[in-house]
Amino acid sequence: MYAFTYHQPNDVAAAVALLDEDAKLLAGGQTLLPTMKQRLASPASIVDLGKIGELSGISREGETIVIGAMTRHADVAANAAVHQAIPALAALAGGIGDPHVRNRGTIGGSLANNDPAADYPAAVLALGATIVTNKRELAAEAFFHGLFETALGEGEIIVKVRFPIPQKAAYQKFRNPASRFALVGVFVTQTKGGARVAVTGAGASGVFRVNALEAALGASFAAAALKDATVPAEGLNTDMHADAAYRAHLIVVLARRAVAAAG
């Protein structure tokens, strides 16, 4: 790790004031610190969000669940309101990494990082969540921009995420056996507006929705509706762990299983 200056501001405004192009926000550090240790990142200063109380916490506001950016995966997994309103989201958070990672990693860090194999992006996209920053509100579709890229601009900090409560939802994760990230993860939801299917781990340019599966489920939200469905392999990842054809196949299998699990 290279030397850097460490800041620990007490509110968002102070954090923003510390941000320049050589500064990095530090949330749970589960991605940033390993990258720095491997000397792949060398920020001149680190702005630790850990002391900013307003960034943490979970609440239910009418028909939405609101999760602060600094909320740890373990807290989402254990939260009663999340369990009651969107159990699939609690289960997803409880399936991220290992206990160490869940006790440090945050939803804001995960979304800002937008790892193409991360779990939260699938939930955010399938649930039609809104990402609230210090500057604006972004719909999920507008937030994710391909591999490790997001709409976040200079001096922009994720403050919280608002999840509309769906009628039904479920997440199925097929783990990469080594990293235990998603080799393929499929999040399905049913809302008044219809069905959504969001896929992580498989897309060559990150998380995406599968229109054909959504259409089939819109007509009938049942596993049987996907009985003969297929997803093309084009645009999917091929790497040493799995090729595009296998991933395409898994998307359909996991979507079917998710719908069945959503009840």
Partner 1 sequence: MSATGIGASVKRTEDIRFITGKGHYTDDINRHGQAYAYFLRSPHAHATINKIDASAALKAPGVVAIFTGDDIAADKVGGLICGWMIHSKDGSPMKAGAHPALAQGKVRYVGDHVAVVIADTYAQAREAGEKIVVDYGVLPAATDTATTAKPGAPQVHDVAPNNTVYNWHIGDKAATDAAFAAAAHVTKLDLINNRLIPNAMEPRAAVGEYDSGTDALTLYTTSQNPHVARLVLSAFIGIAPEHKLRVIAPDVGGGFGSKIFIYAEETVCVWAAKKIDRPVKWTADRTEAFLSDAHGRDHVTHAELALDVGGKITGLRVHTIANLGAYLSTFSSSVPTYLYGLLLSGQYNIPAIYCEVDAVYTNTAPVDAYRGAGRPEATFVVERIVEIAARQLGRDPGEFRRANFVTSFPHQTPVILAYDAGNYGGALDKALALADYKGIGARKAASAAKGKLRGIGFSAYIEACGLAPSAAVGSLGAGVGLWESAEVRVNPIGTVEVLTGSHSHGQGHETTFAQLVSQRLGIPFENVSIVHGDTDKVQMGMGTYGSRSGAVGMSAVSKALDKIEAKAKKVAGHVLEASEQDIEFKDGKFTVKGTDKAIDFASVALQAYIAHKFNGQELEPGLKETAFWDPTNFTFPAGVHICELEIDPETGVTTIDRWTAVDDFGALINPMIVEGQVHGGVAQGIGQAMLEGAVYNGDGQLLTASFMDYCMPRADDLPSFRVETIETRCPSNPLGIKGCGEAGAIAAPPAVINAITDAVGHEDVAMPATAQVIWRAAQKAILKRAAE
Binding site for partner 1 (CB under 8 A): 1-2, 38-39, 174, 177-179, 181, 240-243, 246, 249-250, 253
The site that binds ligand FAD (CB under 6 A) totals a number of residues, namely 31
In the complex, the smallest distance separating the C-beta of residue 235 from ligand FAD, rounded to whole angstroms, is: 21
Single residue of 9, 68, 108, 116 touching ligand FAD by CB under 6 A? 108
| Distance from C-alpha of 146 to C-alpha of 137, rounded to nearest angstrom | 19
As given in the structure block, the two tokens for residue 209 are 């929705």
Out of ligand FAD, partner 1, none, which partner does residue 110 contact, by CB within 5 to 8 A per kind?
A: ligand FAD
Residues 6 or more apart whose CB falls under 8 angstroms from that of 136 comprise: none
| Cα 36 from Cα 33, distance rounded (Å) | 5
Rule CB under 6 A: say whether 66 interacts with ligand FAD.
Answer: no
The binding track of 154-183 with respect to ligand FAD, each residue x by CB under 6 A or -, is: ---xx---------------------xx--
Secondary structure (3-state) at 168: strand
Binding partner selected for residue 109 from ligand FAD, partner 1, none, CB under the kind-specific 5 to 8 Å limit: ligand FAD
Task: With CA atoms as reference, report the closest residue to 77 among 86, 183, 31, 263.
Answer: 86
Cβ contacts of 240 within 8 Å, gap of 6 or more: none
Binder of residue 38, out of partner 1, ligand FAD, none (CB less than 5 to 8 A by kind): partner 1
